[in-house]
Amino acid sequence: MKILVLGGSSFLGRAFAAEALARGHEVTTFNRGRSAADLPGVEAVRGDRDSDADLARLAEGRRWDAVVDTSAQQPAQAAASARLLRERAGHYTLISSVHAFEDWPARVVDESSPLHPCPADTPPGQEFSAALKAGCERAVQEHFGAGRSLVLNSGLLIGPYERGGRLPWWLERMARGGRVLAPGEPGRPVQLIDVRDFALFGLDLLTAGTAGRFLTTAPPGLLTYGQFLDTCAQVAGEGRAELVWVPDAPLVAEGPDAVEPWSELPLWMPDVPEAAGTWQVDTARARAAGLRCRPFAETARDTWQWLRGRGPADDTEPDGRKRGRFPLGIEPAKEQRLLAALS
């Protein structure tokens, strides 16, 4: 097959391109060339998807059997690419998110759950919000129709080349050793999917011409937060890290050392009603269609091997915190104050 990947050089797009090449498909990638180098073997077309001229240059003289859109963040972006490609590609796979569902994370969601009411013709340049993914979905379906479009609502992706930094942060924290603040309850479930498993499943559906929607993440109950942190400690800590479990309540209590859920201690979400469905996404339909998830220990080992080979990233502070729009990781001094006061 001839497959176009919108994105294709870093993390999710890279995983799709790598798996497609391994299966013998012809792969074209379209990106600005800023995030990472394209994989050897792809036809790399440089351009900005927000530019009509760049999109027209991409499509000139080319046709594909299928498109994988890993990079649409705004409905206008999805609409522009889908409008251009509907006569040049047979099938369109859009990578969306559980954020597109109006009830998530407060309630359990499945494929029939309502989406945020974001229209397909939402003007470009909107400030980031969960609703925008729903608009992207509507834009693709408007131009490709229900029979030629596939929506994969992604859960939280982890693995080698991860850009979000959550698993890498924990691995690097364990590698520093010492007493490590482990928040909440070790038995609390988490749903994390290896990006390679996501790409395998997506390409299986794409090559079969499957249409519709699939919530695509690990099934509930496959992994707990305690198992996640224990495995990170074993893989990267090498006996130097000691997990110290602290309940939710004192961590979220008001004061200068209150901890911001999700960002300061990645993947930690307190047991509160407004987040009750965070790790309870219904994946029955995807599993029935063939989704399989590798053991987390394999993902952790492969990610740690990649991190050691990569070396320090340019978005990392000397103390291990990540810079960016959403700073990631707790300050070491704050972590030690909390451990001294609460453990």
pLDDT tens digits for 188-221? 999 999 999 999 999 999 999 999 999 999 999 9
Same domain? For 311 and 185 the reply is: yes
Whether 310 maps to a domain, the answer reads yes
CATH of the domain at 63: 3.40.50.720
207 shares its domain with 303: no
The residues near 253 (Cβ < 8 Å, ≥ 6 apart) are: none
- Residue 324 is predicted with a pLDDT of 47
Number of domains into which the chain is organized: 2
Query: Do 152 and 176 reside in the same domain of the chain?
Result: no
Q: 309 in a domain, yes or no?
A: yes
Same domain, 65 and 132: yes
Q: How far apart are CA 232 and CA 251, in angstroms?
A: 22
Q: The pTM is what?
A: 0.95
Q: Are residues 177 and 318 in the same domain?
A: yes
Residues 113 and 176 in one domain: no
Same domain, 150 and 22: yes
Residue 107 lies in a domain: yes
Length of the chain: 343
Q: Do you find a cis peptide bond into 105, omega within 30 degrees of 0?
A: yes
Across the chain, which has 343 residues, the per-10-residue mean pLDDT values are 96 98 98 94 97 96 98 96 97 98 97 97 90 97 97 98 94 97 97 98 98 97 97 94 96 91 96 95 98 98 96 59 66 95 80
One domain, residues 205 and 254: no
pLDDT, residue 263, reads: 94
Q: Are residues 185 and 145 in the same domain?
A: no
109 and 185 part of one domain: no
**pLDDT tens for each residue of 130-148:** 899 999 999 999 999 999 9
Residue 84 resides in a domain: yes
The domain in which residue 29 lies consists of: 2-157+194-216
| Domain assignment present for 314 | yes
Same domain, 301 and 178: yes
Domain membership of residue 245 (yes or no) is yes
Contact partners, residue 46, CB within 8 Å, separation at least 6: 31, 32, 33
Question: Does 21 map to a domain?
Answer: yes
